[in-house]
Amino acid sequence: MTDARRIIERHWPLNGPHTNDTIAEAAQGAEALMRYLAHATYEPITAGPALHRTLSSLHESLYMLDQVLGQVADGVRRDLANDYTLYDTRSGRLPAATALDVADAIGEARQGLGSRLYRAASEASCLGHTDSVDENEVA
């Protein structure tokens, strides 16, 4: 396990506790890591193996994000849409209908990105570097 994973698992152990607050905090942590990557990748990744590790990790993250979004959508459909204490701040709108719209929008958001990123990571796994470059052989 890498140091980054240890740091994260110290704050959010896989076995919980899992509450609405810890789930929201973990999502905010994921957002902060994406913000870091957005800034860090302003400069290109110049090593083939690092590109592969980066894309593979992002693919794995998307795979898990797809699972998270599926579970969230299922919970919205199963629990939130049937919660009689739920209300919609817009007048005349049924909160159960809004909850189901949220679940449908989550489903739409889950389409396709993971398989495309998997292809990119697979292609990147073929890239490496030699110790020296003969400029006559560079295409």
CB 27 within 8 A of CB 65: no
Lowest mean pLDDT among 25-34, 101-110, 124-133: 124-133
pLDDT at 112: 72
pLDDT at 133: 63
Q: For all residues of the chain together, what is the average pLDDT?
A: 86
Where exactly are the structural domains of the chain? 3-124
Q: Is it the case that residue 135 has pLDDT exceeding 70?
A: no
Q: Is it the case that residue 2 has pLDDT exceeding 80?
A: no
Assign 139 a pLDDT band (cuts: 50, 70, 90): low
Rounded-to-integer distance, Cα 9 and Cα 83, Å: 32
DSSP 75-107: HHHHTGGG-TT---SSTT--HHHHHHHHHHHHH
Closest CA to 45 of 58, 60, 31, 32: 58
